[in-house]
Amino acid sequence: MKISIVGTGYVGLVTGLSLSTLGHEVICIDNDKDKISKINKGESPFYEPGIDDLLKKVSDKGVFYATENLEKSVFESEVIIIAVGTPTVNGKIDLSFIKKVSQQIGKALKKTKRYQVVAVKSTVLPGVTGKVVKPILEKYSQKKVGEFGLCMNPEFLREGNALEDALHPDRIVIGQIDERSGKEFAKIYAKVSAPIIFTNLATAELTKYAANALFATLISYSNEIARISESIEMVDAQDVWKGVHLDRRLSPFSGSTRIKPGILNYILSGCGFGGSCFPKDIQALASFANHQKVEAKLIKSVINVNKTQPQRLIVHLKDALGDNLQGKRIAILGLAFKPNTNDTRESPALPIIEELIAEGAEVIIHDPMAKQEGTPRTDTVEEAIKNTDAVVIVTAWEEYIKLTPQFFKENMKKPIVIDGRRIYDKHSFMKAGIIYKGIGL
């Protein structure tokens, strides 16, 4: 099939690449000329493991390319996927990109005579596809649903693992406005073995938010337990979670082998979640619940815990160095919100850096991929921690996990390590004479 995807951001590009590997001809559309040029040269505009290699592969095969020409692309396509951004502004979802693109697609649909399916893959609140996108498409195409199809197909991509998730999905959710729309759209996944759930538009929209809110809730719950652990002498949250994780309902047995599900990665204490999805989506969901006159106390609590969690690292830092951080040289290891991405959106590192600078500390940053304007960033970890008063671990990059106690001792004035991701063995660090503090400890 020939598929057009409007938007070359994280969702649009990864979706396009995965669909092109299934044998479809995919056109990704954007109005950014530089981004289009870069993509067509086989260079991704963002970092994701393996993405440049796959981009070059499908481009060389002639089954994938990027363009600015939306009208021509839509005219030629059987399926049109909307994958533009839906940022949260002042706590509410911003639909300006969705509305503009829906208008453009509607104008293009007006010029075609065959049946085409439009699918929203952008994360939108319940009702948006049916009450916002649909009337815009009908107005500008001068067609009614039935003459074209309409679906909502949420993505479940994890940054850092997005290609794996897109190429081997664990489920496909298709919200359909009518049976024909869903049946035609599902053809793009004909070669995928994952179960397909057909539902209505609003249910598909809420499924995405419910999934993200669940994982965000587990993280904030874990961090609240960490705060309680920190208040109790001789208690370490890491030890608490070892006992919790072995519950057979969380780690079931397959015969005599214990399974370790991925969900356990979210039931661990750290310095909070960030990225392009969790923060904005739960903010939007809380706002939506309020609009629906539903008191979403749990979701609001999740937001509050996460907003204040990075501050716990400052507390541990002051416990080790004293309340006066003026002139202290502090290294921040990790700027991206998680490893295997260069995405710094809502990263816990940002408020930590801001607070340290406000208190007069000298901040040095290292991250293998991410950058932050206006703050010194070193090329190597050794440069970052050289002669520092303390090191704060914010992102669990493999490069950092491999660091030894001896490495910190050799390069720091007096080795103080504040572990925001609990990537180190506390016993070996303390035994080596390092002042080691971490979330939950």
In the predicted structure, residue 260 carries a pLDDT above the cut 90: yes
Rounded CA separation 27/73 (Å): 7
| 210 assigned to some structural domain | no
Count CA within 13 A, CB hemisphere, residue 340.
12
In the predicted structure, residue 311 carries a pLDDT above the cut 90: yes
- Which residues 6+ apart lie within 8 Å of 244 measured at CB? 250, 267
Instruction: Give yes or no: residues 265 and 395 share one domain.
Output: yes
Instruction: Give yes or no: residues 174 and 251 share one domain.
Output: no
| 391 assigned to some structural domain | yes
| 226 assigned to some structural domain | yes
| 178 assigned to some structural domain | yes
> What band does 377 get if pLDDT is binned at 50, 70 and 90?
confident
Instruction: Tokens for 99, please give them.
Output: 């509305």
Q: What is the largest CA-CA distance in the chain?
A: 75
Judge contact between 66 and 30, C-beta under 8 A: yes
Give 271-298 pLDDT, tens digit per residue. 999 998 999 999 999 999 999 999 999 9
Instruction: Give yes or no: residues 291 and 192 share one domain.
Output: no
Instruction: Give yes or no: residues 249 and 341 share one domain.
Output: yes
Instruction: Give yes or no: residues 378 and 421 share one domain.
Output: yes
> What is the average pLDDT value for the chain, to the nearest integer?
96
| 209 assigned to some structural domain | no
- Which residues 6+ apart lie within 8 Å of 89 measured at CB? none
Instruction: Give yes or no: residues 195 and 223 share one domain.
Output: no
Tally of structural domains, the chain: 2
Instruction: Give yes or no: residues 262 and 149 share one domain.
Output: no
Rounded CA separation 31/34 (Å): 9
Give 134-156 pLDDT, tens digit per residue. 999 999 999 999 999 999 999 99
> What band does 103 get if pLDDT is binned at 50, 70 and 90?
very high
Q: What CATH number does residue 308 fall under?
A: 3.40.50.720
End-to-end CA distance of the chain: 54
In the predicted structure, residue 373 carries a pLDDT above the cut 80: no
Rounded CA separation 161/312 (Å): 28
What per-residue confidence (pLDDT) applies to 263?
A: 96
What per-residue confidence (pLDDT) applies to 376?
A: 78
Tell me which residues are annotated as active site: 277
Instruction: Tokens for 232, please give them.
Output: 């109790």
In the predicted structure, residue 375 carries a pLDDT above the cut 80: no
Give 182-193 pLDDT, tens digit per residue. 999 999 999 999
Q: Which domain holds residue 100?
A: 2-199
Element (H, E) at 151: strand 149-152
Instruction: Give yes or no: residues 156 and 11 share one domain.
Output: yes
Other Cβ atoms less than 10 A from the Cβ of 150: the count is: 24
Rounded CA separation 146/116 (Å): 10
Rounded CA separation 116/61 (Å): 25
In the predicted structure, residue 88 carries a pLDDT above the cut 90: no
In the predicted structure, residue 42 carries a pLDDT above the cut 80: yes
Instruction: Give yes or no: residues 275 and 306 share one domain.
Output: yes
**Region 335-362: what's the mean pLDDT?**
96
Strand 435-438, strand 196-199: pairing: unpaired
DSSP category for residue 322: -
* Strand ranges in 30-96 using DSSP code E only, listed in sequence order: 64-67, 79-82, 88-89, 92-93
Please give the angle made by the CA atoms of 168, 170 and 173, to the nearest 5 degrees.
Answer: 110
Sign for the pseudo-dihedral over CA of 131, 9, 220, 300: negative
Instruction: Give yes or no: residues 271 and 305 share one domain.
Output: yes
Last residue of some domain: 169, 199, 229? 199
Instruction: Give yes or no: residues 336 and 418 share one domain.
Output: yes
> What band does 91 get if pLDDT is binned at 50, 70 and 90?
confident
> What band does 372 get if pLDDT is binned at 50, 70 and 90?
confident
What per-residue confidence (pLDDT) applies to 171?
A: 98
> What band does 199 get if pLDDT is binned at 50, 70 and 90?
very high
Instruction: Give yes or no: residues 259 and 319 share one domain.
Output: yes
Element (H, E) at 172: strand 172-176
Rounded CA separation 363/418 (Å): 14
Say what angle helices 10-21 and 51-60 make with each other, to 10 degrees.
Answer: 50
Other Cβ atoms less than 10 A from the Cβ of 403: the count is: 20
Last residue of some domain: 134, 164, 199? 199
DSSP category for residue 45: S
| 315 assigned to some structural domain | yes
User: How much is the pTM?
Assistant: 0.95
Question: Three-state SS across 234-273?
Answer: CCCHHHHHHHHHCCCCCCCEECCEECCCHHHHHCCCCCCC
| 211 assigned to some structural domain | no
Last residue of some domain: 199, 226, 248? 199
Region of 346 (left: φ > 0; alpha: ψ -120 to 50; beta: rest) is left
Locus of tokens 């295997």: 340
Give 243-253 pLDDT, tens digit per residue. 999 999 999 99
What are the CA-CA distances from residue 31 to residues 73, 295, 327, 358, 431 (Å)? 13, 40, 46, 39, 57
Q: In what order do the strands lie in the sheet with 435-438?
A: 362-366, 329-333, 390-393, 416-419, 435-438
In the predicted structure, residue 92 carries a pLDDT above the cut 90: no
Judge contact between 197 and 269, C-beta under 8 A: no
| 166 assigned to some structural domain | yes
**Region 228-239: what's the mean pLDDT?**
98
